[in-house]
Chain A
C-alpha cells in the first residue's frame, strides 16, 4: 500500500446525506471478481443525470469528495471504497461516516476525514463558487486547507499511522503469529468446527 502524507487536489461537493453503499456502487457491480475497474459503477444511478455533480465539467478530475452526513451507510461492500478510488478519489470529507465504510477505507488507503458539518458547509460554498480551488489534506498535521477554509479533521490514530507508513494489515498481524498459536491452543474443546 502506498503511503499517504499530503494530498492536494480539486474537490466535488456531494450535497446529499445518507449516501449508502448501494448508491456508491449498486449490487450489480459486486459480481465482478477483479479488484479494479469499478469507476464506471460509482454513483451509477446518478451518473446518467447531466445535473449530477460529477457530470459537470468544472468537477472533472476531482480527487476529494465533500459529502453530506452519514456517508457510506448500508452494506459492507468494500467495492464502494474501490469505486471511489478507481474514479480518482483519495479523500472523502464528511461530518459522519458509517463504521464499516470507514474501516474499509482505512484498509484500502482512502482517507476519510471527519469534520464538523460547519466545515462541510464552508467547503461546499467554497468549491461551488470556485471549483478550481485546490484542497490540501495534510494527514500528518490533520488539517484541511482550501482558500480561506482551514480546519482540522479527525482520523483514527492507528489508521493514520498505517496510512502514513503505508503498512499492510496482515503483515502487521503475522508479526504476532506466536500469540495467535498460544490463543488457539487454549480454546475450549466445545467450540465448533465446520468439518
Chain B
C-alpha cells in the first residue's frame, strides 16, 4: 500500500525501530530560542553531555526581544537574563546564534525558511509549538518541550510514536479577498481546537497548491491551534523556486539530487489517511475570531454567537466565559465591534508578503483616530526588504508604528502588550485570555483584515473600504 507524505518523511528518518518502543527519529534541523532552551543547556552541563551536532542546530533571539531601542541594553532584567543565557550557552556549546541586531535575527520560524535551511523531506524541531510552520516545505516539523530540546541537543534524535495522518483538502480556488489565514481559521472552527490531536495534517487541493510559500507557512503554522502536531504541504515548483539560490540551498549536483528526491515527496495515490476533512473554497470568506480560543471564529460578515447555540453544557460554559472575558454581547455584528490596537506581525503573518498585503490596504489611507497600529516584521531581513520597497513609509505615513523584528505582541513577553480591557485585531495565532497582555482581548485576523480594521476602527475587510 502507498504512503502519505508524512509517512515517507517519517520512515526516511527512523534510526531505530523496536517492538513496543517509540521509533527513534533523526532530526535534520534543530532551531533554538532563548525561552525554551536555558534549562536544557543547564541539564547538559549537569550531566556532562555535549551538543552532538551543533552544525544542525541554529539559535536566534526572538520571543522577548524589544522591538524599539534595540541598540540599548534590554530593560527588563528577566528578558535580559534569558537572552544572555542563550548567548553564553551558544558560545559554550558552539551553537551558531543570530543575536539581536544581527542581519539574520528574527523569529525562528521566519529565519529558517529565509536562509533556505528548511527543505522538503527534512525533520525540523524547535521548542516552540509553531514549528509546524516549516511543514509548508514538505518537511515534518513540530514543536517540542524543553526536555525534548535537551534530548535533541544531546542525541540529535527523538523517541516518538508515529502520528496519525489527516488530509485537509481545500476544493477549488480561494475567492478574491480570502487568504491562507482565513482558510486556517475556518479549518480550526470546523475541526475544533482538539480536532487535530495526534495527527499530522496534510493540506491539499487547489486552494492550497495555489498559495505562495508565505501562505502555506501561515496555513501550516496554525496547525497546532487545531491540536495537530504538524501540518504539511507537498513540495512542488512553488517550493523549489522559493528555495533555489538561498544561502543554505543545495547547489550544483547536490541541487539535482535534492530535487530528484523532493519530487518523490507526495502522498501516493493509493495511500489512505486516518481522517479526511474537506473545505469548499467557494464557501470561504474573511474570518475573525470572537472568543478565547482559535476555534471560536466566524466569517467577518457574522455576528457574535450566543451560548444558546451551544451543542452541550461544556460548550455553553465555554462560550459564556469567552463572551464575558471578551466583553461581547451575542448578536452583535462583528463589523460593529471597535478595536483599540492592530498588530501585524508574528510567525503566522510577519513575512514580506503579509507586510505587502497590509501596506497595499493602508496605502493612501490613515489609521483611525484612537487606534494604535503596530507593524513588527518577522525578521531583520523581512524588515530590510520591506524598507527597500518603501513599505515602512506607507505604514508610518498611515500613522502605524514601524518596529524591529521579533515575536512582540503575539505573546507579550517583551514591552509590546495590550493593557487590561484593550481590544486588538491581531494577525498572530492565539486569542487566549491574557495572551497579548493581562486582560487583553484578542481577535485573530489576516493582515488584510487587520489593515482595513485599522482604517475603520472596527472589524472590516479591504472590500468594505472600497465601498
Contacts and interface: CB of A to CB of B under 8 A. Distances in A.
B433 interface: yes
Given A74-B129, A188-B261, A191-B28, 15 more contacts: A22-B430, A70-B193, A70-B194, A75-B430, A76-B127, A96-B194, A99-B198, A100-B129, A100-B145, A169-B151, A170-B154, A180-B156, A184-B156, A190-B257, A194-B54
Interface stretch (A24-32, A125-133, A134-142): A24-32
Contacts of A165: none
Interface in A27-66: 27-28, 30-35, 45
Given A30-B413, A33-B82, A70-B193, A45 B26 contact: no
Interface of B: 15-16, 20-22, 24, 26, 28-29, 35-36, 38-39, 42-43, 47, 49, 52, 54-58, 63-64, 76, 78-79, 81-82, 85, 96, 116-117, 119, 122, 127-129, 143-148, 150-151, 154-157, 159, 161, 193-194, 197-198, 224, 227, 229, 248-250, 254-255, 257-258, 261, 293, 314, 317-318, 321, 411-413, 430, 432-435, 438
- Scoring A31, A158, A184 by chain B CB atoms within 10 A of each residue's CB, the highest score goes to A31
B16 A176 contact: yes
A73 B26 contact: no
B20 to A, nearest CB: 7
Interface in A148-195: 156-158, 169-170, 172-174, 176-177, 179-180, 182-184, 187-195
B24 to A, nearest CB: 6
Contacts, number: 196
Contacts of A96: 194, 197
Interface magnitude class on chain A? 35 or more
Given A45-B434, A78-B36, A173-B151, A18 B193 contact: yes
Contacts of A45: 433-434, 438
A34 B39 contact: yes
B411 A173 contact: no
Contacts of A81: 145
Contacts of B15: 176, 179-180, 182-183
A192 B35 contact: no
Contact of B154 (A17, A30, A174): A174
B250 A192 contact: yes
A98 to B, nearest CB: 7
A68 interface: yes
A84 B242 CA distance: 43
A9 interface: no
Give the 10 A-B CB pairs with smallest separation, nearest first.
Answer: A78-B145, A104-B145, A33-B38, A31-B78, A190-B258, A190-B250, A190-B254, A76-B143, A76-B129, A78-B146
A7 interface: no
A107 B148 contact: yes
Interface string A88-127: 0000000010111001100110000000000000000000
Given A31-B82, A173-B151, A100 B261 contact: no
Contacts of B144: 76, 100, 103
28 contacts: A20-B432, A22-B435, A27-B413, A27-B435, A28-B413, A31-B78, A31-B79, A31-B81, A31-B82, A33-B38, A33-B81, A73-B194, A74-B129, A76-B129, A78-B36, A79-B146, A108-B147, A157-B20, A158-B22, A170-B47, A173-B24, A180-B24, A180-B156, A187-B26, A188-B257, A192-B29, A193-B248, A194-B248
Nearest to B37: A33
- Scoring A81, A100, A195 by chain B CB atoms within 10 A of each residue's CB, the highest score goes to A100
A121 B154 CA distance: 42
A69 B412 contact: no
B227 A104 contact: no
B254 A189 contact: yes
B35 A17 contact: no
B430 to A, nearest CB: 7
A5 interface: no
Contact of B194 (A98, A177, A190): A98
Nearest to A171: B47
A35 B42 CA distance: 9
A182 B434 CA distance: 47
B97 to A, nearest CB: 10
Contact of A31 (B24, B49, B413, B433): B413
A23 interface: yes
B197 A98 contact: yes
